[in-house]
């Protein structure tokens, strides 16, 4: 396939003695090259080598995924690809019906194999399994589906601006999702130069974040940026989550050293800003790390976050093990460690209420998900019955002939 410069070179590195590649069907990891500025490392090369695919020619990373177009980074630069692809060539000698199925829907951060579609144009032929995935429940209430926000991220930076009231439940649910993604959560306090109450906010966040590191920054003053970068080493990816007007774009510009995101004013009446970021996109940083901005999210519905709940509320699970009864409902049972902790105030009432609220939300989501699965099974079962009935009637007609 052709690279962006117009040449037909395949970005598979030659060996150091300039000998041609061997006749292996798939290149060895030490001969794979990819977009280093966008996080391609030796570990990523091994992942590509472990997941070869027929027709996969070039390792790439999805920088941005819009509704009908994907921007992918290769060793030679950025490529704009149509999505969904127009189809792929079947293997030589294979029947056209044997053409591989379309790849999974890519999202920003995905590692992908690029090949060619039937028109001979560059296209995504396979999305590699994700090392981590940040998801949330889709915004509409009746949904039981997940919306993938970012893939293959190492650190989830949860933005907390000091110029607006701290929303405890929102912070906790976002940290639960961050833990559940497989990445490491990090709380980033922004706009510390705008308020005299920064120390108070930091103190409250540290108490609530349950062991998560907290970094205080002022992008305007350049404070805290070096400390923040110590959490995102070269080759690693940081995704930023926060509401509109929280200072994400200003922080990105400060970390990148130039304006890569536009910034907007925040309304004084409600502390909300307009959406200056409209899609998720990877931004290379000077230290070799990669940063992903996301549009401001007002709500963060949890989706299948059992692991994240365990990380965020591990202290409560320890209390559960101290209850007299293993099936304690933590209501009026004798010997309940939770009720005792609430009474002596070693457990904050607000934290317990937040835990119960998140558990109810996950339970309701599971019920909707199970109901959707039951409906899908019933539709499939009825379809099989109908097909079997038609086959039986056809056989009877044939026998009468």
CATH of domain 133-293: 3.40.50.300
Mean pLDDT of 106-123: 91
pLDDT (tens digit per residue) in 8-24 = 444 333 323 333 333 34
pLDDT confidence bin for 386, thresholds 50/70/90: low
Q: Residue 229: its pLDDT value, please? A: 94
- Segments making up each domain of the chain, as ranges: 29-127, 133-293
Q: How far is the C-alpha of 174 from the C-alpha of 191, rounded, in Å?
A: 20
Q: State the pLDDT confidence band at 355, using cuts at 50, 70 and 90.
A: confident
CB atoms within 10 A of CB 355: 20
Which one has a higher pLDDT value, 344 or 95?
344
- Residue 225 in this model has a pLDDT that exceeds 90: yes
Q: What is the pLDDT of residue 300?
A: 52
Per-residue pLDDT reduced to its tens digit, 175-216: 888 888 889 999 999 888 776 666 777 888 887 777 789 999
Q: What is the mean pLDDT of residues 302-331?
A: 73
pLDDT of residue 311: 60
Phi, psi of 372 (to 5 degrees): -65, -40
CB 156 within 8 A of CB 183: yes
The pLDDT assigned to 370 comes to 55
Return the number of other C-beta atoms located less than 10 Å from residue 129's C-beta: 14
Of 61, 184, 149, nearest in space to 112 by CA: 61
392 pLDDT exceeds 60? no
Angle (nearest 5°) at CA 278 between 277 and 279: 100
Looking at residue 68, what is its pLDDT? 80
Measured in degrees and rounded to the nearest 5, phi and psi for residue 308 equal -65, -35
User: Is residue 369's pLDDT more than 90?
Assistant: no
Q: How much is the pLDDT for 5?
A: 41
Lowest mean pLDDT among 212-221, 314-323, 366-375: 366-375
On the CB side of 53, CA atoms within 13 Å amount to 27
- pLDDT at 307 (0 to 100): 56
In this prediction, residues 39-55 reach a mean pLDDT of 94
Is this model's pTM higher than 0.75 or not?
no
Note the pLDDT of residue 215: 93
Query: What is the rounded average pLDDT for all residues in the chain?
Result: 75
% of the chain at pLDDT higher than 70:
64
Dihedral-angle region of residue 204 (phi above 0 means left; psi in -120 to 50 means alpha; beta otherwise): alpha
Higher per-residue confidence, 203 vs 92:
203
Pick the CATH number of 29-127 from 2.40.50, 2.70.70, 2.60.40, 1.10.287: 2.40.50
Distance, CA of 117 to CA of 123 (rounded, Å): 6
Answer whether 29-127 and 133-293 agree in fold: no
What's the pLDDT score for residue 107?
A: 92
Q: What is the predicted pLDDT for the residue at 381?
A: 54
Tell me the C-alpha distance between 210 and 229, whole Å. Answer: 22
Q: Which of 52-56, 90-94, 163-167, 201-205 has the highest mean pLDDT?
A: 52-56
Only one residue has tokens 């030589």, namely 92
CB distance 89 to 116 below 8 Å:
yes
């Amino acid at each position: 396939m052709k690279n962006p410069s117009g040449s037909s070179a395949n970005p598979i590195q030659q060996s150091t003695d300039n000998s041609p590649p061997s006749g292996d069907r798939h290149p060895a990891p030490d001969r794979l090259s990819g977009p280093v500025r966008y996080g391609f490392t030796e570990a990523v090369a091994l992942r590509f080598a472990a997941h070869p695919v027929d027709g996969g020619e070039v390792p790439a990373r999805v920088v941005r995924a819009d509704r009908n177009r994907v921007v992918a980074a290769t060793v030679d630069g950025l490529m704009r690809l149509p999505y969904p692809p127009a189809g792929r060539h079947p293997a030589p000698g294979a029947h056209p019906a044997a053409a591989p199925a379309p790849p999974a829907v890519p999202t920003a951060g995905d590692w992908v194999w690029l090949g060619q579609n039937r028109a001979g144009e560059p296209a995504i032929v396979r999305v590699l399994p994700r090392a981590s995935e940040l998801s949330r429940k889709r915004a509409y209430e009746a949904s039981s589906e997940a919306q993938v926000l970012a893939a293959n991220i190492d650190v989830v930076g949860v933005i907390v601006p000091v110029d607006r009231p701290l929303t405890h439940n929102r912070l906790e649910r976002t940290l639960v999702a961050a833990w559940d993604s497989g990445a490491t959560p990090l709380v980033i306090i922004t706009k510390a130069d705008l308020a005299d109450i920064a120390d108070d906010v930091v103190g409250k966040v540290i108490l609530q974040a349950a062991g998560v590191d907290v970094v205080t920054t002022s992008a305007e003053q350049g404070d805290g940026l070096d400390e923040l970068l110590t959490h995102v080493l070269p080759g690693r990816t940081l995704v930023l989550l926060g509401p509109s007007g929280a200072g994400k774009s200003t922080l990105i510009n400060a970390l990148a050293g130039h304006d890569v995101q536009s910034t907007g004013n925040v309304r004084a009446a409600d502390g909300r800003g307009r959406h200056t970021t409209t899609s998720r996109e990877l931004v290379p940083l000077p230290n070799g790390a990669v940063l992903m901005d996301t549009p401001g999210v007002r709500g963060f519905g949890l989706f299948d976050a059992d692991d994240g709940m365990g990380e965020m509320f591990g202290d409560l699970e320890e209390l559960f093990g101290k209850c007299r009864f293993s099936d304690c409902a933590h209501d009026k049972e004798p010997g309940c460690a939770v009720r005792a902790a609430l009474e002596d105030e070693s457990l904050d009432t607000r934290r317990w209420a937040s835990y119960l609220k998140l558990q109810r939300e996950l339970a309701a989501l599971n019920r909707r998900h199970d109901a959707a699965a039951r409906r899908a099974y019933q539709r499939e079962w009825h379809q099989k019955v109908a097909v079997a009935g038609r086959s039986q009637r056809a056989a009877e007609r044939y026998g009468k002939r």
